[in-house]
Structure 1
Amino acid sequence: MRGNDFADLKAFAAIVEHGNFTRAAAHLRVSPSALSQTLRALEERLGVRLLNRTTRSVAVTEAGARLLTRLKPAMEELEAAVADVKDLRDTPAGTVRIQAARFGAISYLEPLFGKFHAAHPDIVLDVTVDDALTDLVAGGFDVGIRLGEWLDHDMVAVKLGGHLRQVPVASPRYLAKHGTPRHPRDLLKHRCINWRQPGSGGIYAWEFKKGGGDWFSIAVKGPLVVSDRALALSAALQDVGIAFWEEERVRPFVQSGKLVALMEDWCAPFPGFFLYYPKQKHTAPPVRAFVQFLRQAWSS
């Protein structure tokens, strides 16, 4: 084998696994054009076409399928062998690429940066904060932090912290002018501040549950739609309307009297955030160290 054959064969396998050049390039952290050149060079060296490709899809040729059948178990064994050697290090080293929802990052990552660095000085945390629902593998991430209701079933999930609760809040001046809602249906008569999740064309419908009843949602309307909940909170403080956000984030403003919590008996707790990552035979040492650190930090 030539010096770069292993990398080129790995690139070929990634294209087949992900189904197109764009997702495979994101996983390998190279550009699609560079990946295309790599495959073309490999095909020229081998003297056969491995993939039939169009602008939208790729299909494995007979030669490509035969190569992949022999190649995949060999590559898995090579990667496992390298990982086993890395495990012999006294301290894990490398980069952990994390994709986290904004509230998850603020609540469960930010408070631990200093402690994690002190415990694992050779691990680099590469954190992308994004509320959009992203394919973890296609995006080239090792782990993610999301609400449990949005996790794929084929992921390993680790609970972070306890349950959460969302509550509607409004300023005293808004309530004095427009009245106080007593039931979630009353919100349909009020000015509510909506949230559109990044990457989604839809607007979040506010969810409520009382006692042993079922969850139900209310599609509220109002003068403002935001993609960042912090903006909704700021608007509520400015008397624009009623905001709906996690209880811990609004508590300081409720305690100071700047906002009033509404219909709390209709605001039931729900499973909160999870750290999650793909199921695989071997987890890289830095990823394993990161997962274990967060598991111990938030186990209570």
Structure 2
Amino acid sequence: MRRAEYARLRAFMAVAEQGNFARAAGELRLSPSTLSQVIQDLEKELGARLFHRTTRSVSLTEAGARLLAKLKPAMAALDDALAEVQGADDRPSGTVRLHIPHAALEQYLLPLLGEFHNSYPRIVLDISADDAAINIVQEGFDVGVRLGEYLEPNMVAAPLGGQMCQLAVASPGYLAKYGTPTEPADLQQHQCINWRWHQPGGYGLYEWEFVKDGHQVAVAVDGPLIVSHRYVGLAAALQGVGIAMWNQRMLAPYIESGQLIPILENWSPQFPGWYVYYLKQPHPSAAVRALVGFLRERAPAMSETPPSTAYNFA
């Protein structure tokens, strides 16, 4: 590979991963105009448009996403080979871009950041905490964390903990005032706290899911509050605003203290929990393998640890 070709491919990867020409130019120590010309030269050489460009955003085209999916493992293998030849030590190094929902971040990663850094001081973690269900390859991420039921095909995935359970909860004051639902359909007569989430195809309100004796029910609830962050809904439920629904583990301290009361428990079975995953490829980078291996080893113990009290809204 000629040096100019290598430089153009590196430039393409930087723009794809940063999603921004200015940030990528800073990373590469180039001017934005120079970087733009480099990408134009690459597109001309390949005969394909790699990015959709607007004044506000940069995103991969279908051709760009295919190139990135093939290029990242090849570049990682090349980097590993060069490091070995140059006599570098065998400690993994480089940047790993991780996409992780807020709840999984608090449960599995925040308590382990210091330990991971001490174990792998040459790895830079670029963490995006986001509840959106995205395509990590198209968005330029190396590793993702997602609920098992929403895993994409062609991914290598490993569970981080056991199964999970979502519970509907309300404050004692709310239930004393409005009564306790006994069937999922009863929720439509109550004040519920909606959660707006980014699902494939766009943003939408989450329909509360219940199962009993093999019978599945999805309820479109209504109420005085719509949130995009679960902790806002938790704070509102603690203050008696309405009924909220969230991961049983995150609700446990408030249930144990009596601040929240679970409802419809017999309609709330367990389901596959969090998984760490990455694109199936012949040679994932040593840094990706290190992060995934670390989480696989340490996460089961974190599942048994009480959740952080940093978000105590009482």
Normalised by the size of structure 2, how large is the TM-score? 0.77
Give identity over the alignment, percent. Answer: 45
Pair 1:227–1:79, CA change in 2 (3 A): closer
Asked if residue 51 in structure 1 is aligned to residue 57 in structure 2, the reply is: no
Question: 1:155 matched to which residue of 2?
Answer: 155
State the AA in 2 paired with 1:30.
Answer: A
State the AA in 1 paired with 2:118.
Answer: A
CA–CA distance in 1 between the matches of 2:73 and 2:255? 54
CA–CA distance in 2 between the matches of 1:55 and 1:247? 41
Query: Contact between 2:198 and 2:204, CA under 8 Å: does it hold in 1?
Result: no
State the AA in 1 paired with 2:218.
Answer: S
Residues 61-80 of structure 1: matches in 2 within 5 Å?
80=77
Pair 1:293–1:179, CA change in 2 (3 A): same
Query: Contact between 2:76 and 2:285, CA under 8 Å: does it hold in 1?
Result: no
Q: Any gaps of 5 or more consecutive residues in structure 2?
A: 26-31, 54-59, 302-314
TM-fit CA distance, 1:198:
3.9
Query: Contact between 1:98 and 1:126, CA under 8 Å: does it hold in 2?
Result: yes
Pair 1:245–1:77, CA change in 2 (3 A): closer
Pair 1:299–1:175, CA change in 2 (3 A): closer
Query: Contact between 1:94 and 1:122, CA under 8 Å: does it hold in 2?
Result: yes
Matched position secondary structure for 1:201: strand
Question: 1:83 matched to which residue of 2?
Answer: 80
Question: 2:24 matched to which residue of 1?
Answer: 30
Residues 237-256 of structure 1: matches in 2 within 5 Å?
237-256=238-257
TM-fit CA distance, 1:164:
0.6
TM-fit CA distance, 1:244:
0.5
CA–CA distance in 2 between the matches of 1:252 and 1:154? 38
CA–CA distance in 2 between the matches of 1:276 and 1:231? 28
TM-fit CA distance, 1:2:
6.3
CA–CA distance in 2 between the matches of 1:76 and 1:117? 23
Pair 1:52–1:270, CA change in 2 (3 A): closer
Aligned residue pairs total 277
CA–CA distance in 1 between the matches of 2:123 and 2:171? 44
Question: 2:109 matched to which residue of 1?
Answer: 109
Higher CA-based Rg: 1
Pair 1:2–1:290, CA change in 2 (3 A): closer
State the AA in 1 paired with 2:119.
Answer: A
Matched position secondary structure for 1:276: strand
Pair 1:155–1:27, CA change in 2 (3 A): farther
Question: 2:174 matched to which residue of 1?
Answer: 174
Greater mean alpha carbon deviation, residues 102-111 or residues 130-139 = 130-139
Structure with bigger strand share is: 2
RMSD: 3.3
